[in-house]
């Protein structure tokens, strides 16, 4: 008898036969639900943190605390020896005060050369001053004599005018008398000799009048000459005084040059406090050797930072800065706020980098450094309940808060770079 072939699989038949028992179900435990919810919340928080969270890039720089207008470092203008020190460590000086006196005179068998030359020039200066005083007295005497001569000439002119008037009156009288004698001679009442005598007298009066008029003209000429001399006397006297002053100026210039070859006075270029005195009286100094430093006392302190070219592109004026002062460790006294107020647009020369003297800057990589000026929020550091003021020359580290971006942008920054590079190379 052949086996019966069923239309369904045995498993299906058995499952239908046992269906009255119900369907199987997996019962979830309470801990599994809690873990699922916590995982979902964590994923949502993490996603929100990536989307809404931000990270600020920090650029670390090294620098030093300096006055806003820098320090005034005084150097020896030429080689010599310190003959006098007028400013001590911590002294307050004003602009133009003498800081150092450097002796640069050379000595021979006759003594100090420039000292002897200066002494001779000073004697010459005294002689010129005395000669100038004597010339002033002579000018005053000559001017007084010229005025007296002018007064006498005017008096002589007045007298000559009076004599001319008298002569003119005498001539008129003599002419009348001669005319009367002529009429008397014609009538026979007078002799011809008397008339001729009267005519001779008239001629004499006329000759005297011409002489007086000629003298009057000469007096006018003398008077005009005296007036001209008096008019130009002050100019001539001033010219003589100017020549004497030029001689004095020449001697003073020679004295200054001799003094410059004998000693040099180093003056303070600005007001401030003296610090860093390196040369003492009796020591020899070379040309350009540092002598001392003047710290301006009326200028606020700033932090001068050195930034490499790799970091300068992300630093902007107004950026916030976190400062750490080596004198006040940040582990104990914290960080201090500041703001970028100025940035150099060109790299600094090596001598300027040496002036900043920032600890932490590689001396072998001083090329391509920029200056970044940071103004601290407070010119002091709170320490042990007191406000300790910042001091010029303090070393500092700074963290410049350069740029802030969402976290997902920082995560996908390599992809952005690749996309940007591909777009740039696309035809």
The H or E element that residue 151 is part of is helix 113-187
C-alpha distance from residue 150 to each of 104, 212, 216, 237, 375 (Å)? 60, 20, 15, 18, 79
Calpha distance 373→340 (Å, rounded): 6
Q: Is the pLDDT of residue 1 over 50?
A: no
Predicted confidence (pLDDT) at residue 113 exceeds the cutoff of 70: no
- Name the more confident of 298 and 266: 266
Average pLDDT of the segment spanning 40-65: 76
Cβ–Cβ < 8 Å for 88, 108: no
Give strand pairing partners of 375.
Answer: 339
Mean pLDDT of 401-417: 63
pLDDT at residue 273 tops 80:
yes
Comparing CA positions, the residue from 76, 75, 83 lying closest to residue 263 is: 83
pLDDT, mean over the chain: 78
207-249: per-residue pLDDT in tens?
A: 888 888 888 888 888 888 888 888 888 888 888 888 888 888 8
- Predicted pLDDT at 25: 66
399: three-class secondary structure by DSSP: strand
C-alpha span between 249 and 245 (Å, rounded): 6
Rounded CA separation 100/292 (Å): 10
Q: Which residues contact 136 (CB under 8 A, 6 or more apart)?
A: 241
Share of the chain above pLDDT 90, in %: 0
- Domain 55-70+299-413: give its CATH architecture: Beta Barrel (2.40)
Flag whether pLDDT at 311 surpasses 80: no
Mean pLDDT of 372-382: 89
Is a pLDDT exceeding 60 seen at residue 419? no
Residue 165 CA to residue 96 CA, distance in Å, equals 76
> What's the rounded Cα separation, in Å, for the pair 323 and 302?
11
Residue 423 has pLDDT above 50, yes or no: no
- Closest of 144, 344, 120 to residue 254, by C-alpha: 120
List the single range of 14-18, 171-175, 265-269 with lowest mean pLDDT. 14-18
Residue 376 pLDDT grade (very low, low, confident, very high; cuts 50, 70, 90): very high
């Amino acid at each position: 008898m052949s086996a019966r072939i069923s239309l369904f699989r045995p498993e299906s038949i058995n499952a239908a036969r046992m269906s009255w028992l119900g369907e199987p179900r997996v019962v979830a435990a309470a801990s599994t639900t809690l873990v699922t919810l916590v995982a979902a919340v964590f994923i949502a928080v993490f996603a929100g943190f990536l989307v809404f969270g931000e990270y600020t890039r920090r650029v670390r720089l090294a620098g030093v605390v300096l006055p806003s207008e820098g320090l005034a470092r005084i150097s020896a203008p030429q080689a010599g020896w310190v003959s006098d020190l007028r400013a001590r460590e911590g002294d307050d000086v004003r602009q133009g005060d003498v800081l150092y006196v450097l002796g640069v005179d050379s000595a021979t068998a006759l003594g100090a050369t420039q000292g002897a030359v200066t002494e001779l020039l000073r004697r010459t200066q005294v002689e010129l001053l005395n000669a100038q005083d004597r010339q002033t007295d002579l000018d005053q005497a000559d001017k007084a004599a010229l005025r007296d001569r002018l007064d006498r000439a005017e008096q002589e002119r007045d007298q000559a005018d009076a004599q001319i008037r008298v002569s003119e009156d005498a001539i008129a009288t003599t002419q009348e008398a001669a005319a009367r004698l002529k009429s008397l001679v014609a009538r026979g009442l007078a002799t011809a000799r008397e008339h001729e005598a009267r005519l001779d007298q008239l001629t004499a009066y006329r000759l005297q009048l011409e002489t007086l008029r000629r003298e009057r003209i000469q007096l006018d000429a003398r008077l005009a000459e005296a007036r001209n001399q008096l008019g130009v006397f002050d100019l001539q006297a001033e010219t003589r005084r100017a020549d004497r002053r030029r001689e004095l100026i020449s001697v003073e210039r020679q004295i200054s040059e001799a003094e410059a070859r004998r000693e040099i006075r180093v003056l303070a270029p600005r007001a401030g406090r003296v610090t860093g005195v390196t040369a003492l009286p009796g020591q020899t100094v070379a040309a350009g050797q540092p002598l001392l430093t003047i710290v301006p006392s009326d200028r606020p302190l700033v932090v001068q930072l050195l930034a490499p070219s790799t970091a300068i592109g992300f630093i902007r004026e107004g950026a916030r800065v976190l400062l750490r002062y080596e004198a006040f460790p940040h582990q104990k006294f914290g960080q201090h706020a500041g703001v970028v107020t100025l940035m150099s647009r060109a790299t600094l020369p090596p001598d300027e980098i040496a002036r900043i003297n920032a600890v932490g800057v590689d001396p072998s990589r001083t090329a391509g450094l920029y200056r970044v000026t940071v103004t601290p929020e407070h010119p002091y550091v709170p320490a042990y309940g007191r406000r300790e003021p910042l001091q010029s020359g303090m070393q500092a580290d700074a963290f410049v808060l350069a740029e802030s971006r969402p976290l997902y942008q920082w995560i996908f920054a390599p992809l952005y770079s690749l996309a940007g590079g591909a777009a740039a190379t696309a035809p």
